[in-house]
Amino acid sequence: MIIDSYDKDTEPVISLKDFYGEKKDLTEKCLIIFSKNILEYLLDHFECQKIGHIESVSGSRPVYKSHFEGQEFAFYLTMMGSVLASTDCVEVNWITGANQFIMFGSCGSLDKEKTFGKYIIPTEAYRGEGASYYYAAPSDYLEIKNHDKVEDFFIRENAPYIKGKVWTTDVMLRETRGLVAKRKSEGCIAAEMELAGVQAACDFYGLELYHFLESGDVLSESSYEMEGLHSANHDLGKLYLALKFLKEI
């Protein structure tokens, strides 16, 4: 069973050293980017340098380094989904030495009235995916450890936000009416696809994760609204919040 997957007592068979050689120490802070538009904006408007590549059989993705108001940071375009996003994070730690990650993406709102016009700061993630069970002992929810630090920053920036539980799912096409109702009854205000796995991997390897979301589409037991999805996916406002937050970590 998936809940038997956490093994902290024996050594892994595969090491990133097998693929990348010795671990690098190039920078400390890193932005996890989901939007190709935001990635291209950074490349067009900032002075950027390639410092590594995430390699796989499906292709190579660059990792870049840049600066914002005196703060050095790395950034890369992550793959979607818990298993791929968590693996990317761990690999970028090895490739660059970055140990503080700011992740900001979009999500589906489960409560439009609560989330409309606000960023979402997750406090817990429901583990409706697979990756987190390899990095943490089984449980229904995983604590998002640095949510208070993110909230403090949002307060100082006067950025609108709401805190709450989110639902990490592996399969958006199986977000059924029954599961939406169940997660909402437990207090979840949004659904997304990465956080539980990335947080669990960061906890396991001693990395720091800071996370916030912007809701776009809306899921309810009776309907689906997607009008705001494109805007939430590619909003430059959350990029600049993440860049300003670099000074806080």
Candidates 99, 28, 19, 80; CA nearest to 53 is: 19
Candidates 239, 96, 85; CA nearest to 168 is: 85
Residues 202 and 205: their CA atoms lie apart, in Å, by 5
Could you give the percent of the chain with pLDDT greater than 90?
Answer: 94
How would you class 112 by CB atoms within 10 Å of its CB: exposed for 0-12, middle for 13-18, buried for 19 or more?
Answer: middle
For the whole prediction, is pTM greater than 0.75?
yes
* Class level of CATH domain 23-248: alpha beta
- Provide φ and ψ at 141, rounded to 5°: -120, 155
Model confidence at 80, pLDDT cuts 50, 70, 90, reads very high
Q: Which pLDDT score, from 0 to 100, does residue 2 have?
A: 87
pLDDT digits (tens, 9 = 90+) for 18-29: 999 999 999 999
Give the mean pLDDT of the chain.
96
pLDDT digits (tens, 9 = 90+) for 179-222: 999 999 999 999 999 999 999 999 999 999 999 999 998 989 88
- Provide φ and ψ at 240, rounded to 5°: -70, -30
Candidates 155, 157, 127; CA nearest to 143 is: 127
Candidates 62, 61, 66, 37; CA nearest to 49 is: 66
